[in-house]
Amino acid sequence: MSAFQLEPWLQARGARVEALLADRLGRLQAAPRRLTEAMAYSLLAGGKRLRPVLCLAFAEAVRGGPPGTAAEDSACALEYIHTYSLIHDDLPAMDDDDLRRGRPTNHKVFGEAMAILAGDALLTEAFALVGTGPEPCRAELASRLARAAGAVGMVGGQVLDIAEDRPAEEGYLTRLHRAKTGALLQAACTLGVVAQGGTVAQVAAAERYGEAVGLAFQIADDLLDVTSSSEAMGKPTGADAAAGRHTFPAVLGLEASRLRARALVEEALAAVRPLESVPGPLAALARYSVERST
């Protein structure tokens, strides 16, 4: 059907994201060296870069060309915030993880105090990135990013995740993941549209797509934790169950989880049809969110 090839597109965009992240971090030369080293250690450690890539894909679709500076700043800010959340989640007081992407976690290398501060700095600098520039969209970028990452979004989801009285129900799991991972993935999509001055209808399409892909991505993550090898993931697998953490496979069963993820992908594909007359990166990324192997 579609002639679009995701792999080379993803490689090009991934390389672009790496270059952008290094550039933006390089602007903090007046900051203490040890702090920027700790920030760079986790920020430039690779990873799928799904959030910046989604942001750039929506910006390209809206603009019909390469993303502008506000979209590129947003892409970096999303990865700053994702990275800070990983650093803080890995702390001894939280998940107490020693490994992340096959390397020692930030606090294992720089100490707990510096890991807390590196996370704080990444979170703060994300807003310096989206808030600074002449484009009229800048305030809306900051507002949307903050609400997605804050008490009703990502941080709130993390609180639900560490709560002691989590019910093993699909409704609670969905609420938890909509907040914990879904809100920021959704913001990745909408920020790309807002950064390019997209229409209200385009923002709404990005919201629907982002919500569906965000949840599909999490279900796929839970499935990978059950079915994948530790080597492929770069971290221990089966850790969710070992930690007594409820997952979609545990609550719905493996097969129903797979069906739910596929239905969400169809929702996402329908939402972005008006943005891609011929299926392109947005359609391919929706499929990739559940078909990936790491």
Give the interface with a copy of itself as residue ranges (CB under 8 A). 28, 30-32, 34-36, 39, 84, 88, 91, 93-94, 111-114, 116-117, 119-121, 123-128, 130-133, 138-143, 145-147, 149-152, 155-156, 158-160, 162-163
Looking at beta carbons only, is 155 or 226 nearer to a copy of itself? Answer: 155
Nearest-approach distance from CB 28 to a copy of itself, in angstroms: 5
- β-partners of residue 104 are 99
Cβ distance to a copy of itself smaller for residue 43 or 265: 43
CA distances from 130 to 45, 73, 89, 274 (A): 22, 6, 24, 27
**What is the C-alpha separation between 133 and 135, in angstroms, rounded?**
6
292-8-67-271 Cα dihedral, nearest 10 degrees? -40
User: Can you tell me which residue has the tokens 């760079």?
Assistant: 40
Torsion sign across C-alpha atoms 203, 43, 105, 7: positive
Q: Which is nearer to a copy of itself, 151 or 263 (CB)?
A: 151
Integer Cα distance of 68 and 71 in angstroms: 5
CB of 119 to a copy of itself, least distance (A): 8
CA nearest neighbour of 44 among 73, 20, 75, 69: 20
Q: How far is the CB of 55 from a copy of itself (least distance, A)?
A: 17
Question: Residue 74 Cβ, how far from a copy of itself at the closest point, in Å?
Answer: 13
CB of 51 to a copy of itself, least distance (A): 16
Q: How far apart are CA 89 and CA 41, in angstroms?
A: 16
| Closer residue to a copy of itself, CB minimum distance, 25 or 57 | 25
> In degrees rounded to 5, what are phi and psi of residue 213?
-65, -35
- Choose between 98 and 266: whose C-beta lies nearer to a copy of itself: 98
Q: Rank residues 25 and 285 by Cβ distance to a copy of itself and give the closer one.
A: 25
Q: Collect all residues with Cβ–Cβ distance below 8 Å to 291 and sequence separation of at least 6.
A: 220
Q: How many CB atoms lie within 10 A of CB 244?
A: 7
Nearer to a copy of itself, 1 or 33 (CB): 33
- Residue with Cβ nearer a copy of itself (34 or 273): 34
Q: Which DSSP letter does residue 181 get?
A: I
Mark residue 47 as left, alpha or beta (left: phi above 0; alpha: psi -120 to 50; beta: remaining): left
Contact 236, 99 (CB under 8 A): yes
CA atoms of 129 and 176, how far apart (whole Å): 28
Closest separation between CB of residue 33 and a copy of itself, Å?
Answer: 9
Q: Minimum distance from CB of 184 to a copy of itself (Å)?
A: 11
Tell me how far, at minimum, the Cβ of 117 lies from a copy of itself, in Å.
5
